Amino acid sequence: MTTSSYRDFAEQIRAAADIAEVVGQYVELRRAGANLKACCPFHQEKTPSFNVHPGKQIFKCFGCGKGGDVISFVQEAERVDFREALEILAKRYGLEMPRFQGRSQEDEAVRKRQTLSEILERTAEYYQGRLRDANYGAHGRRYLAERGLSPATVEAFGLGVAGEDWDGLIRFLKGKGYAEESMVQAGVAIPKKSGEGFRDYLRDRLVFPIWNARGGVIAFGGRLFEGEGPKYLNTPETGLFQKGRELYGLSQARDSLTRQKRPAVLVEGYMDVIACHQAGVTEAVASMGTSLTEDQARLLKRYTDVAVFLYDGDEAGIKAILRGLEGLVKAVLTVRVGILPEGEDPDSYAKKEGPEALCRLIEHAPPFFDFLVLQAHKRFESDSPEARLGMVGLFEPVLSAIEEPIVFDGYVVKLAAELGIEEGALRQYLRKRLKQMEKRSSKAPVREAEPIPDVPFEEPDFPQDLGYETGISPAFEISTEPAPRREAGLLLILLDHVEARLIVRERLRLEWLTHPLARYWVGNILALEDSVSDVWRALTERAESPDHQKFLESVVFSSEEPLAEDYVAVSEHLMGILESDFQRTENRRLQARIQDLIRSGRQDEIPGLVEEQMRNLHNRVEGRSRATKENPCSQVKY
């Protein structure tokens, strides 16, 4: 399947996907008039402020400010880019992800990523097939049986084997039509050290597919069966895989973390994750042999608020915990630390003591503060001032990562009491140290955030025969205040009912509207061709500033009840009130002008202004009376 562009396919996705159905997979939505509401999946809250508008196919959280369409929701919920969100929705709605023709740099980049993903999926199938093969897989099956892994576990983690041959995978992929250069870009092949050509990256190893959080293969790890070489080896980083940003086992652990609300259990390697899952600890993930990074901590925070270390009890394991604590605390995770007995890993401990003992060890893991206190006393046995200073130094990285003042203050009080240090002296020392750390970091090159472009607001091209103007200069200052309910109500009617602009266009003067953005967007709607039926899409395409988009979303969600039947009467009612209010404002302006004339002694101009005041008053009384007659719109709360 081909399509003209990646954006064209996004339109197909929006037409096929139901945002209420998609959002309902993540949170429980409840009907609230015309909208659906829930507690926001993107931040903690007790009172629902997350709204879904099925008619407009948009969402908006008035707590954290996030909003958009079904694609942007999936981007936020899954923490993926635009292309990956399309893939997720395409799979959900049975649409074939197109192979873009590369007409633009954007489409060409998407095509390359698709090719790399396909190569990795085919590679995983190749290694799994080798494990099942009677000849090639015997060695691997024997090793897995010795490790006590069940067939179900082997299948769940997609384990395979890379044979002793140097180019078996390359020949397999070439038979599927893939170029060797693409195999190198995917990380599964490597140029030969001598001579021409390429060889398989992994050879004679047990193979662990590395999935991203959504279950797509992005890389491979390999464990050496025998011979020389590193015991564990990962395929190189690529455009799809950066080791410091992924967690092994997250795809398998997601359900336990999100739906069962279990704390994440952090272990050290592939086999530790697999052994934990087989023992029932299905929330286990690993950082793949490296210290836990801040990116991995932030990734974990998307799925849980609590993390439990379950590292080996040797010195290397303790040091790895100390290095990883800072990132987890900085990501605002509640951290506990469970230490395995020295010489044990999750697999051996579960086999020796039983899966229940492993679960108890995790459940009763103490808070990170208690772990640090224990380590401080172990490492600094004396009670000298120098030893206490060393103890404080053990806490410094974690304390520096705490941004919430109340939490920071609480830990300082606890630390002072635990170490027997005068609280004021400890605060003074920590302030000094934190300033030194900030000074050092400020000297390091900092990558600044990309500035938000200051895009001037362009005046819409109004049809000449209508005579409408927005009354707003291109560089007007956006008001942070919400629009008056009457103005928001009229804009909402124009957004919901195509025919309403024919009625409003005949009577409304934009100067009646006092809010700059309400006036701007009403003017945009009235300027649309009559053939434009999707008003929402037409407006959002013009919303070049996030503030403009937020304003439109706030208007859409400002009313919980649809104005389906009486929108003509309601719009007439609102325009009558708006006109009346405008005439009152005009009379106040005229009165101020009259006072100026009296003070300056120019009495001759006053009669004309008074006459204009009386006309305005007459029209205002008559118009307001007409607008508030008993009719269906009298119940509208504007």
pLDDT band at 83; cut points 50, 70, 90 = confident
Q: How confident is the model at residue 138 (pLDDT cuts 50, 70, 90)?
A: very high
* pLDDT computed for residue 513 by the predictor: 86
Query: In this structure, how many other beta carbons lie within 10 angstroms of the beta carbon of residue 548?
Result: 19
Tell me the C-alpha distance between 66 and 387, whole Å: 48
The CA angle 83-74-155, to the nearest 5 degrees, is 80
Residue ending a domain, among 196, 211, 241, is 241
pLDDT digits (tens, 9 = 90+) for 323-336: 999 999 988 899 99
Question: Do both 296 and 197 map to the same domain?
Answer: no
Tally of domains in the chain: 5
For 562-615, give the DSSP string: ---S-HHHHHHHHHHHHHHHHHHHHHHHHHHHHHHHHHHT-GGGHHHHHHHHHH
Which residues, in sequence order, are CB contacts of 507 under 8 Å at separation 6+?
A: 572, 575
> CA 444, CA 442: separation in Å to the nearest integer?
5
- Say what the pLDDT of residue 180 is: 94
Q: State residue 288's pLDDT score.
A: 82
- The SS3 call for residue 11 is helix
Q: What is the pLDDT of residues 43-72, one digit of tens each?
A: 877 788 898 988 788 888 888 878 888 998
Q: When comparing pLDDT for 196 and 426, which is higher?
A: 426
User: Residue 486 has which token pair?
Assistant: 């009457």
* One domain for residues 233 and 278: no
Any idea how long the chain is? Answer: 638
More confident residue, 559 or 248: 248
In a domain, 387, yes or no: yes
Percent of all residues in the chain with a pLDDT value above 70, rounded to a whole number: 84
Range of the domain at 392: 369-443
Look up residue 280 and give its two tokens: 């029932």
State yes or no: pLDDT of 474 exceeds 70: no
pLDDT above 50 for 477: no
If asked whether residues 358 and 374 sit together in one domain, one would say: no
Burial 273-309 (b: 16+ CB within 10 A, else e): bbbbbbbebbbbbbbbbeebbbbbbbbbbbbbebbbb
One-letter amino acid at 502 equals L
Domain-embedded: residue 132 = yes
How high is the pLDDT of residue 201?
95
**Residue 235 and residue 260 in one domain:** no
* Token pair of 148 as six digits: 């006590």
For the domain that residue 272 is a member of, what is the CATH number?
3.40.1360.10
Report the percent of the chain where pLDDT is more than 90.
31
Residues 439, 505 share a domain: no
- State whether 267 and 175 are in the same domain: no
Q: Is the pLDDT of residue 443 over 70?
A: no
Task: Report helix, strand or coil for 195.
Answer: coil
One domain for residues 406 and 434: yes
The answer to whether residue 526 is domain-embedded is yes
Least confident of 20-34, 223-237, 364-378, 527-541: 527-541
Cβ-based neighbour number of residue 35 at 10 Å: 23
251 and 230 in a common domain: no
Strands 334-339 and 306-311: parallel
Residue 188 lies in a domain: yes
**Is 468 within the bounds of a domain?**
no
**Residue 323 CB contacts under 8 Å (≥ 6 apart), including other chains:** 291, 292
Output the CA–CA distances (angstroms, integers) from residue 585 to 476, 522, 579, 581, in the order listed: 21, 20, 10, 6
pLDDT at 544: 62
Per-residue pLDDT, 450: 34
Q: Do 290 and 328 sit in the same domain of this protein?
A: yes
Name which residue leads in pLDDT, 191 or 112. Answer: 191
- Is position 218 within any domain? yes
Q: What DSSP designation does 310 have?
A: E
Please tell me what DSSP assigns to residue 248.
B
Is the CB of residue 80 less than 8 Å from the CB of residue 214?
yes
| Inside any domain, residue 284 | yes
Return mean pLDDT, the chain: 81
Point out the least confidently predicted range of 127-136, 145-154, 164-173, 477-486.
477-486
CATH of the domain at 14: 3.90.580.10
Q: Is residue 589 part of a domain?
A: yes
Residues 81 and 142 in one domain: no
389 plus 515 within the same structural domain: no
CA dist., res. 160 & res. 453, Å (int)? 49
Average pLDDT over residues 255-277: 92
The whole-number pLDDT of residue 444 equals 47
Q: Which of 30-39, 124-133, 484-493, 621-630 has the lowest mean pLDDT?
A: 621-630
Domain containing residue 188: CATH number: 3.90.980.10
Structure token pair of residue 269: 């390697």
Cβ-contact 205, 162 below 8 angstroms: yes
For residue 39, give both structure tokens: 């507690």
Same domain, 489 and 617: yes
Q: What is the CA radius of gyration of the chain?
A: 33
